[in-house]
Structure 1
Amino acid sequence: MNGPESTAPRQFAFTTRAHMAVDDATDEPIGLDDVDTRVRWLLDLIAAAGAELTARLWQPVTFDVLAAGRDRAGRRLPAQGHVAASRLGWNPHYPDGIYVPSRVSRVVTAQVMATLRTLAYRDTAITALSERFDPATGRIAPPTAAADRVPLGFARGVRRQLLARARRTDGAQSTRLRITDVQGRPLTSAMARLSAADRQLAQITVTDRELVLTVKLPTSPAPAGRAQWRRVRLTATIPAHLHGRAITDWHLPTLVLDRRGLLWRCAATELVPDCDLGSATVAVGVDWSPSTLGAAAATTENSDGLLSDYRGFTYDDRGLGTKLARLQAEGQMLHRKAARLARLAATAPPEVRARLEEKIAALNEHRTAVGAKRGKINRELGFHFARQVTDYAEAAGAQVIAVEDLTTLETRGHGRVNNNGAAQSARRQAVTALAHTAAGVGIAVVSVPARGSSAQCPGCDEPLARPGGYHTAWCSSCRVGGNRDHVAGVNLAKRALLGKGKVTRRRGQLPAVRVDERAPVRKSRDKTSPTPPRPRHRRVRRSLPTTTPRLGVTPKQNVPAPQASVWDTVKPAPLQGDAGSRDTAVWLTSSVGGLPSSTRPSPTPATPVADSMRST
């Protein structure tokens, strides 16, 4: 039984970069550019071997073996990918004359096995769906067994693949298709998961807030023997937000190369407060909304039953949702334009085709940049949302945060543009960030059924009326209502509290409540949920400036801004000069002989500058 001060281990990820490198045998410093080159040689060897192994295993018998989970002797395949591949005889091949340590082969097989095991589920689903697919009508018949059911979004994707294959084959289709028939083999990424190896290839130690990684790297692009593999000690600074945390273990990182050089994708294990779901009395429900990322509301359980004040918290994305929608539209436009140029290049003369291919390459590069920007904004949005919801739940005294089950959630009925935008929102990334952030304060995150959460009354489970449009809800019998998303949050929190004794746990997934139990939620006369802090614009001035006006300068009027800025934080900035804006403060400084208006001091970086170690 868990005690009040019990803890539980959990893993989390972070990134860092090396700022110093030395040769492990001679202790001579090595330039970081040289390290990047040697890591690139290592990644090229791993990527080439992984691509060759994947191409060799891309056949139906491979997925039959993975689905059965047994080797040739009938023994169960182990969870470690490189051990399972060794038992099955799936070993990578290298060109003649190239020597690669066996631990590097472990990294290759572990990465390939992880990809193939993920696709084994898709192969089984494609086989079941292809048997019910009719090429003439383009429809998939409903399943007859519960085991054949798959998420609707997954079924739609497979249906598009089956339709594309039917068009290529003029409708000629066998009754049983495999994943190798409808799609090509997956591409392998250039990365090295050192966690699959042992101390002979890499080891990591912690010394004085620094991580020291000792890894064996090649000294040439085609090493011919062991002498051309040498150990290098890489030193990186532990990020400041990890200082003081109860970290019990540091795991070997995954090495990748980006435009700035070598990047470590690290993982660590820390102790966090444990939460006993069976004793939870306060829960916060998070409803995914088409207008914003999400909204939350609290429900309390006591001796009299369930109660709530039906007041919630709506997340303010600070304009990031609008920016994401613009970037999404821009990426789709670039994709359409590149596809149109590709069709024109197919029948164009050679000289015109060359120019069109250059334009297509530029469009694809621009589209990749837009996708990278969207990924960064989605990550920022997810963790900011997680922080806001966790603070709300902690202020409410909640032990559980209930989120809608994303596998049963489908956006529809809001138009093509809105459906597409909501479907591509970073909900799953926000759930992962929420589970990580909430675990740090001892709050568990569980998934609950999503059906009917916005349409049913939490008190009587009858359909809600919409007297004020889509965003309002009202129950005439219970005399409760308010914001539609807040009412849905009450429903989700109710389902978490009623099903806390029937939680199912699966490896790699959130704890889930599968049963939707019914019980009335009474409206509390007292306020039971916290009031979130209201964001305040930086340029708003509630009082007159206390500084003495400068001679010869006409101050601006202090007028509050009518709307919060997109990028400003919630904390107001201190008064600067006579006027209430940062731009005027910079102008005043330049007018009295200070720094020029184009000079802006930058903060001191938290980590040492790695560029100083770059070799020339």
Structure 2
Amino acid sequence: MTGTDLTDRRRFGFTTRPYLAVDTTTGDPIGLDDLDIRIRWLLDLITAAETGLLTRLWHPATFDTLAAGHDSQGRALPKHGHVAAARLGWTPTYPDDIYVPSRVTRVVTAHATATLRTLTYRDTAIAALSARFDPVTGHLAPPASGEVYVPSAFARGVRRQLVARASLVDDTASGAKISGPATTGAATTDDGTSGAATSDGAQPTRLRITDIQTPPQVSAMARLAATDKQLAELTVTGDTLTLTVKLPTAAAPTGRAQWRAVRLTATLPPHLHGRAITAWHLPTLILDGRGLLLQCAATEAVPTSELSTATVAVGVDWSPSTLGAAAIASESPDGLISDFQGYTYDDRGLGIKLARLQQEGQQLHRKSARLRRLAENAPPKLRTELDAKIAVLDANRTAVGAKRGKINRELAFHFARQVTDYATAADATVIAVEDLSTLEPRGHGRVNNNRAAQSARRKAADALAHTAARAGVAVVAVPARGSSALCPGCDAPLSRPGGYHHAWCESCRLGGNRDHVAGVNLAKRALLGRGAAVRTRAGSLEIRSTEHAPVRKCRDKTGPTPARPRHRRVRRSVPRSTSCEGVNKSKSRPALQASVWDTVEPAASRDVSGSREERGSGPPGT
């Protein structure tokens, strides 16, 4: 570690579920089924109000205001979304004869403003890219000097939207009939004008996001972070989390009396016990297949990590064969050195399982799409049967996606724990990972590119930043271009004499595993650019420029030896005595460890009064 004082603060998230709900007015317990119904009423009110607000604000004037950052009187907009919306007069509307507290309106306006602020960057990029788009050839001209940088993947997506819109304009100009509303059509503004092109097919020089996109869909969730104690209050005592929130008692509440406070009790996850938590934040309420889920956040005190004084760095290369590989580079009086002997992560076969599940999900998607095409012109009776089959396929695809999500999370945190232990054993104070915004899978075929694009790299990067922060190790993102193709010693292109996974430099006589060489390059970029690191708005560290310095191969071993399982010696000269019945009852053989999470101790049994085992909403249906 770089220091022992817990001076840095880091926010992280976790999830939990309530096991008890009590009405604070009467003191009566509420069944979790009834609680889910009341939560659904709250989410329906929030979703309908936010959808209407985004639809009314979907015009260029909204994004011009947010891009300028000032209101009509020239004052700077506050950072809090609900305060900025109140200053700009953005107020959601509700149906008549329905009473909604003002704190619920805060939840609606805070999330709507945050969504529009995020889309403001996309609006600016679309305006810049549309000015360089040629509708005849369908290509983008090179950017001018001083233009805002746009990632290449983002530019390709916008170009596809511009091509689709140009073809739509050409069909409209030629008199072709277009059935149904197009998703890329222009949106009409409040003053009655539209961003569509003229009837002669002329392409505007500047398009906006409202011209090629529709308002975003709203997720059914209640973000309580924008409220205060009048709507929600959170307290944590020991390993118990208590949330008091006001919920409606009817689908359409007509007065203040139909909003009553409910006290929810949940258990903190075991991995949070004993940690230096400095603050607990109000959660986000969502409903999934199992009921109410609390997505909570907390601020934790972690050791200080100084990037400017780092002398040993670990480079993590995202590998196509496994999730990642790591290598070490250190700074010495003679320059940068490395032993070029890295560590390759063993995913324990989970990568093959993820590839199989991904292929299964794609097959279900293709079959569902084919049945939808058949159902369009099918008779009513046959269409009903096809719709039932489509519903089954969609449910199976959702289950496959949920299983992939669980495996990805397990894989990400296991990878983060392994790499953090590797860096701690090597006394490294910084971990360099490839910047995912500059890393695009290409050149390996359609199947492999798609498989690499859907891997758990983003989850692994977030898990690595969270796990390394608790150990006092800083995680910094460095550019990925050329890390696997250039020599760490002379910065010349590498050859592949032994195949794709082998790299060799004839001039420097350096070589080894391709992923380990890339890890050395990434660690070198982190050590050379540690003085130019910048912190993004999300709080992560980035190095956006690359420098070169020769890395010398040292004979001494600089990296730690990864732990390997030791096999017990077995005397094979003496045959084993087997039971006559074929079953050895004298020894109990425990089952193999199926997952890294099997070592977690189960939570202590709590009172299940009011849980789903004891329904408060009447007897279950037969």
Cα drift, residue 293 of structure 1: 1.2
Q: Distance in 2 between matches of 1:74 and 1:331?
A: 52
Aligned pair 1:552/2:553, yes or no?
A: no
Which residue number in structure 2 is paired with residue 43 of structure 1?
43
For residue 570 of structure 2, what is the amino acid of its counterpart?
S
Instruction: Measure how far apart 1:181 and its partner are.
Output: 2.1
Q: Give the drift of 1:421.
A: 0.9
Counterpart of 2:423 in structure 1 is 393
TM superposition shift of 1:217 = 0.8
- 61-70 or 167-176, which deviates more: 167-176
> Quick check: 1:470–1:484 contact (8 Å CA) kept in 2?
yes
Matches within 5 A, 1:278-289: 278-289=308-319
Specify whether residues 202 and 332 from structure 1 end up closer, same or farther in structure 2 by C-alpha distance, changes over 3 A only.
same
Per-residue deviation, 1:613: 4.6
Q: What is the CA distance between 1:508 and its match in structure 2?
A: 0.2
Is 1:430 the counterpart of 2:488? The answer is no
Partners of 2:113 and 2:339 in 1: CA distance: 51
Of 235, 248, 252, the residue aligned with 2:265 is: 235
Q: Which letter does structure 1 place at the counterpart of 2:124?
A: T
Deviation at 1:245, TM superposition (A): 0.3
Deviates more, 1:403-412 or 1:488-497: 403-412
Contact kept in structure 2, 1:555 and 1:579, CA below 8 Å: no
The letter for the 2-side match of 1:151 is P
1:384-410 Cα distance to aligned partner (Å, 9 max, x none): 111111111111110000011111111
Determine if contact 1:237/1:607 at 8 Å carries over to the other structure. Answer: no
1:123–1:179 Cα contact (<8 Å) kept: yes
Deviates more, 1:49-58 or 1:85-94: 49-58
Q: Specify the alignment match of 2:508 in structure 1.
A: 478
Q: Secondary structure at the match of 1:283?
A: strand
Determine the C-alpha separation between the residues in 1 that align with 2:419 and 2:601: 29
Correspondence 1:10-29 to 2 at 5 A: 10-29=10-29
Aligned-partner Cα distance in 2 for 1:318–1:227: 56
Output one character per residue of 1:461-489: Cα deviation in whole Å (capped at 9) or x when no partner.
12212110111111222222110100110
CA contact (8 A) 2:3 2:303 kept: no
Q: Which structure is richer in relative contact order (CA contacts within 8 A, separation 6 or more)?
A: 2
Shift of the 426–498 alpha-carbon distance from structure 1 to 2, 3 Å rule, reads same
Q: Hey, what does 1:151 align to over in structure 2?
A: 151
Q: Secondary structure at the match of 2:252?
A: coil
Where does 1:450-529 land on structure 2 (aligned, <5 Å)? 450-529=480-559
Looking at structure 1, the residues matched to 374 and 204 of structure 2 have their Cα atoms a distance apart, in angstroms, of 34
SS in 2 for 1:11: strand
State the superposition RMSD in angstroms.
2.4
Query: Does structure 2 retain, via aligned residues, the 8 Å contact 1:19–1:613?
Result: no
Give the fraction of aligned pairs with identical amino acids, expressed as a percent.
Answer: 67
User: Offset at 1:184?
Assistant: 1.9
1:170 aligns with 2:170: yes
- The code of the aligned residue for 1:245 comes to R
Aligned mates of 2:586, 2:551 — CA distance in 1: 54
Kindly indicate whether the alpha-carbon contact (under 8 Å) linking 2:31 and 2:612 is maintained by their aligned counterparts in 1: no
State the 1:603 CA deviation.
8.5
Distance 1:519 1:361, change over 3 A: same
> Partner residue of 2:277?
247
Stretches of structure 2 that go unaligned for 5 or more consecutive residues are 172-200, 593-599
1:459 Cα offset (Å): 1.3
Question: Could you tell me which residue of structure 1 aligns to residue 243 of structure 2?
Answer: 213
**Amino acid in the other structure paired with 1:543:** V
The answer to whether the Cα contact below 8 Å between 2:3 and 2:305 also exists between their aligned partners in 1 is no
**In the TM superposition, what is the alpha-carbon distance from 1:555 to its structure 2 partner?**
7.5
Secondary structure in 2 aligned to 1:216? Answer: strand
Shift of 1:143: 1.3
| Cα 1:555/1:478, change in 2 over 3 Å | farther
Which one of the candidate residues 299, 302, 308 is aligned to 2:332? 302
Post-superposition offset of 1:541? 5.8
Q: What TM-score, normalized to structure 2?
A: 0.88
Once the two structures are TM-superposed, the CA of residue 427 in structure 1 deviates from its matched residue by 1.2
The answer as to whether partners of 2:355 and 2:451 remain within 8 angstroms in 1 is yes
Equivalent residue letter for 1:114: A
User: How far apart, in 1, do the equivalents of 2:137 and 2:357 lie?
Assistant: 35
Q: CA deviation at 1:28?
A: 2.3
**Range moving further from structure 2, 603-612 or 519-528:** 603-612
Equivalent residue for 1:543, pick from 570, 574, 577: 570
- Name 1:222's counterpart in structure 2: 252
Cα pair distance change 1:480/1:151, threshold 3 Å:
same
Match of 1:147, SS?
Answer: coil
| 2:31 aligned partner | 31
Contact 1:286–1:297 (CA<8 Å) still a contact in 2? yes
**What residue is the counterpart of 2:179 in the other structure?**
none
Equivalent residue for 1:614?
615
Residues 473 and 606 (structure 1 numbering): CA distance in 2 closer, same or farther, change over 3 Å?
Answer: farther
Aligned residues: 575
The answer to whether the 8 Å contact 1:549/1:555 transfers is no
Instruction: Measure how far apart 1:371 and its partner are.
Output: 2.0
Pair 1:350–1:164, CA change in 2 (3 A): farther
1:90 equivalent in structure 2: 90
Inter-partner Cα distance in structure 2 for 1:453 and 1:378: 25
Q: For residues 578 and 18 of structure 1, do their structure 2 counterparts lie closer, same or farther at Cα, with a shift above 3 Å needed?
A: closer
Gaps of 5+ in 1: 557-575, 584-601
Structure 1 window deviating more from structure 2 (417-426 vs 263-272): it is 417-426
